[in-house]
Structure formats: structure tokens, C-alpha cells
Amino acid sequence: MSNRSRATKLDIIILLAICAVAFWWRLGKLGLIDPDEPFYAQTAREMVRTGDWVTPKIFGLPQFEKPIFFYWLEADAFKLLGENEFAARAPATLFATLLVLALYWFGSRVLGRRAGFLAALILATGGQYILMARLVLTDVPFGLFVSGALVCFWFATEDDARRNKWVVLSFVCSALAVLTKGPLGSLLPMLGAAATLLFTKRRHPFRGAGLWGGLAAYAIIAGPWYAAMFWKFGWEYFNAFVIHENIVRFFRAEHPKFNRIYFYLALLLVGSIPWSPLIPLVIGRARAEARRHAVHVFLWCWLLTSFVFLTLAASKLPSYGFVLYPPLVLLMGSTLDAVLQNGFRDGTERVLALLVGALQTVAIVGLLVHESFALAAMAVGGFLTLAVVLGLRRLSWSWIATSAAGIFAFVIVAMTSANARIEEMTSIKPVALEAARMRRDGAPIVCSRILARGIFFYTQQPLIVLANQPQPFFTPHPLPVIVGAEGLKEFVQQHGTALCVLRAGERGMLEAALSSTQRDHLHSLGNRIIVRVSAEMVAR
């Protein structure tokens, strides 16, 4: 075995070990986090129990928010591993691991082995990536498929002898992305490819046998399921999925508080912790590196086209930004490799790196102390402060080691001593189990819209949603809705009793329905309220 082969094998072993701790360790110990994790898990459960592997359903009726591929993964995991949190998260975690290895492979081929390893290391130990790798979300497999489509496109422009193979593989990846999350699976790779061809002046590779083979593969993979849905539901599906879930979301913000022009820039800075100090270096070196290496032009085209599109879209979420990390970390890995070899280019780079390093340390310690994770705060703060101090003289492997160790410290503390506290803050599981215990005589469960999916997943009991408007969901759900405090009073008086489960921020609506003598008897679990309300308790 050659020295290079041994080095590559060692790199892969190290990356797999990191993924094992950062992604897989105690993966099922935290209850599902509402509202998205229970949504996907419940849909997969209904798929398994009904035997309908074509139409996604929730609460017993079809739902058209996402295409089918991720639900297939979830349902298969449930059949293989049982209906539990580990099985629900395993598919996304597997794809997160595969993406780390895929970026190492691609980075090693186009940037050099060490740069590829550093890029994969940055990805596997980045704060947001670890979080996303541990959640039931479509964005992780979607990010892998979009990355695969663009990587294969790049090789198709580089390797004319095997161009047809790469073009077909690019179409295959794009089709899987479309089957995972919809039209963006084709749109984002097309934008990145078009920008690359424009700025590199290369001839496009989509021609001849490769084009026709790619189109055929695309149609075979993505076509049958969409055809089945249009055949079964016609305009209803077109209106719900194509128009509402894609076009309307682009122009109308589902979460208006996130609709800010700087949202994804801030997300990348915060989500890249502990590697955020590299971002100003990547930006500062962009022009010079692009002049020297065509692959840097490709990576910037990949990153910026997706970044601009997501920024223009009104609906923004942290998970949507996941697709930005693969090209960013490849640029970061290349930059880090250059700095390790040659040091900072000038004093400005050093000051910027240290400033961002200090700010990220203050931010993360402040956040953790605020949430009372004292041990995690000390561990992460200590490691990251040490990383900044070590960087005062020059960037070295010790900085990399301490930064990665800081993230590991956080994962270990979060999954052990702080697990119960985190679950109480983020997961619906504790309050859902308490609701199941408190429910007597068939009392109806009344809950807020955000908690409905998780409570249903853990209790499997009928629900009524309490909200300020008749249609509280961005995407309609087949659940009865009670409107406001007056609606709750009327409901309780009609049914005699109800078990109410709400978020702390909705306390006012509940208090408005109760008599003044009952308002001090609300039982809280973390940031949720659970109370059994009888007709005698409501205000007259």
C-alpha cells in the first residue's frame, strides 16, 4: 500500500470517528423537537401502518408539503429499527456522514488531500452541521444530492473522456434532490452550473449521449411518483405543492421574523462556529484564489447563486441554509490549508481572524450561561479561548485541535448532564407523556398549533388546536380549531373538561379563559403549560 493510500485511509478513519461522536452518539436520547421532527416521523409512521407508500399522510389525510423520498427513508428505518427517536433520525444522520465523506473525496481530488481533509473536518465539527445531522429534516439528504449534482457537473467540464458518465450522474443526483424537496433540486444546480459556465467561459457539458441519458435517468427516478400524485389528486396536488409550497413560499414569509436581508450571512457566521474566523479570510482571498484556480470560481458560483436565491426568497429558515455549507467549507478548507503552510498574508488577516474568534467565544459562552448550561459554557469557552490565544502568534494545528475539542465538549455535555434540560426546553416529549398521564375519562386534548404534531406522535390521541385565527397553519392540517379565549370557554362548557397544553407565550389566552381564582394554578413543564380545565374553572 502506498503512502498516499495509507494517509487516505487514516483520514477516513478519523472522519468516521468524528462523525460517530458528533452525529451518532446518543442520537435517540433526546425527544423529538417540535414542530418539524414529529411531522416527518408521524408521516412515516402512518406510511408504515397504512401500507400506502405513495401518498404521504398525517392525521389520517394526505399532506403535500414535501415529496416522497425522505418519507421512504423514515418508513424503512421504522420498519428496521422500530418507531423510536433513533430510527427517526438515523436517515438524516447517515446522509450527513456520507456528505462529510463525499466532500473529503471531492476536495482531495480538486484542492489536495490535506485541504479536502480540512474541509471535511470543518463540516463535521461545525456547530450548525452537528445540530442538523441530529435532526429529522429533509435538508441533509437534499444538501447531499444538490452537492452531488454540482460536483458531477464540475467533473463533466473537466473530464471530457468521461463527460457522459458525469452528466448522467449529475442528472441522477438532481432527480433525487427533486424527489426529496421539489423543484429546488433542479433549480439550485442549474443556477450554479450556469454561473460557472458564464465566468469560466467553458463549453457546457450537457450535450450528446450524456444529455439524453441524463434526461432518461431523471425521468425514470423523479417522474413516476409525481405522475402518480398528479393522477390521484390532479389540481389539488398542483395547487398545494407547486403553487403553495414553492411559489407562495418564495413571495410570502412563513416566518416573518427571519425574513431579513442579512439572515443567511449571520447564519453562516454563527453556524460555522468554531471555524467562523476563517470566513473573513475566505472572502479576502476570493479574487486572488479565483484567478489562480478555476475550481475556486466554481465553488464561489455554487455558493453565491444559492445564497442569493435563498436571500431573495421571503420564507427563510436556518435549515434552508444547510445547502450553503458544502461549497463554503471547501473554500474554508482550502484557505486553512494555505494559512497552515504560509501563515497569514498580513496583519489585517490576523486581526480579523482573532476578532471573529473572540466574538464567537463571547457569543457562545454568553448563550450557554444564559441557558444555565454552566458546565458546557466553561468547557466550550475554555477551549475556544485557548484557540484564540494559540492563534495570537500563528495559526497552527493546535488551534484546529482545540476548536474541534471544544465542539466535542459541547456535544458530550449536551447529550449527558444537560440532556434533560435541553429536552425540557426543546422537545414536546416530556409534556406529551405528562398529558397522556393526566388525561382521564376521554377528556379532549387542546393544544397550540406548534405542539400539535408532537403531542399526536407521542399520545396518538385526537387533538383540537387553540389559536387566534381559524386557519393557524401555513399549510392547512385536518384538525379542528378553537379560536381565542372565548372559543375555549365555549368548548369547555360544552364538553365539561379539556386538557390544555400550550406554550408559555400563549399563557395570556389561557388566563383570559379562566376565572381569576384559577389563574395561579397553571402547571409548567419547561416553557410549556399543561392544565386540566373544567367548566367550573372558566370565567363567566
Using the predicted structure, report yes or no on whether residue 329 has a pLDDT greater than 90: yes
- Cell numbers for 12, please give them: 477516513
Indicate whether 392 pLDDT > 50. Answer: no
Binned at pLDDT 50, 70 and 90, residue 367 comes out as low
| Per-residue pLDDT at 513 | 75
User: CA end-to-end span of the chain, whole Å?
Assistant: 83
In percent, how much of the chain has pLDDT > 90? 53
Residue 61 CB coordination number (10 Å): 11
CA atoms within 13 A on the CB side of 73: 21
Tell me what pLDDT residue 512 has: 78
Report the DSSP pairing between strands 463-467 and 481-483.
parallel
Q: Are 202 and 246 in contact (CB under 8 A)?
A: no
CB atoms within 10 A of CB 36: 18
Sign of CA dihedral 20, 21, 23, 24: positive
Over pLDDT 70: what percentage of the chain?
A: 87
pLDDT computed for residue 415 by the predictor: 76
Residue 228: CB atoms within 10 A of its CB come to 14
Minimum mean pLDDT among 149-153, 189-193, 274-278: which range?
274-278
Q: What is the pLDDT of residue 390?
A: 47
Average pLDDT over residues 178-189: 96
| Distance, CA of 466 to CA of 487 (rounded, Å) | 8
The H or E element containing residue 497 is strand 497-503
Around 66, how many Cα atoms within 13 Å sit in the side-chain half-sphere?
A: 21
Tell whether omega for the bond before 326 is within 30 degrees of 0, i.e. cis: no
Kindly state the average pLDDT of the residues 422-435: 85
How many angstroms separate the CA atoms of 129 and 321, rounded? 10
181 Cβ contact list (under 8 Å, min separation 6): 66, 67, 138, 139, 142
CA atoms of 498 and 490, how far apart (whole Å): 11
Q: What is the mean pLDDT of the chain?
A: 87
Question: What is the 3-state secondary structure of 316-342?
Answer: CCHHHHHHHHHHHHHHHHHHHHHHHHH
CA–CA gap between residue 175 and residue 182 (Å, rounded): 9
- The Cα 372–Cα 374 span in angstroms is 5
Give the pLDDT band of residue 395 (cuts 50, 70, 90): low
Query: Taking a C-beta distance cutoff of 8 angstroms, is the pair 484, 460 a contact?
Result: no
- Over residues 354-374, the mean pLDDT reads 63
Q: Is the pLDDT of residue 332 over 70?
A: yes
Q: How confident is the model at residue 419, as a pLDDT? A: 77
> What pLDDT, on the 0 to 100 scale, is given for residue 366?
60
Q: Which three cell numbers stand for residue 366?
A: 454568553
Instruction: Give the distance, in angstroms, between the CA of residue 184 and the centroid of all CA atoms in the same chain.
Output: 15
Q: Which residue has the higher pLDDT, 374 or 306?
A: 306
Highest mean pLDDT, choosing among 179-188, 284-293, 486-495: 179-188
Res 133: pLDDT: 95
Q: What are 83-130's pLDDT values in tens digits?
A: 999 999 999 999 999 999 999 999 999 999 999 999 999 999 988 999
Q: Average the pLDDT over each of 29-43, 131-145, 487-501 and give the range with the smallest value.
A: 487-501
Residue given cell 474566523 in the structure block: 277
Distance CA 141, CA 75 (A): 15
Q: How confident is the model at residue 297 (pLDDT cuts 50, 70, 90)?
A: very high
What pLDDT does 363 receive?
63
Q: Is residue 387's pLDDT more than 60? A: no
Asked if residue 175 has pLDDT above 80, the reply is: yes
What pLDDT, on the 0 to 100 scale, is given for residue 96?
97
φ, ψ of residue 273 to 5 degrees: the values are -55, 130
How far is residue 308's CA from residue 379's CA, in Å, rounded to a whole number? 36
pLDDT for the residue 496: 83
Residue 466 burial by CB count (10 A; 0-12/13-18/19+): exposed, middle or buried?
Answer: buried
pLDDT at 147 (0 to 100)? 98
Reported confidence tier of residue 421, pLDDT bands at 50, 70, 90 = confident
Residues 6+ apart with CB under 8 A from 231: none
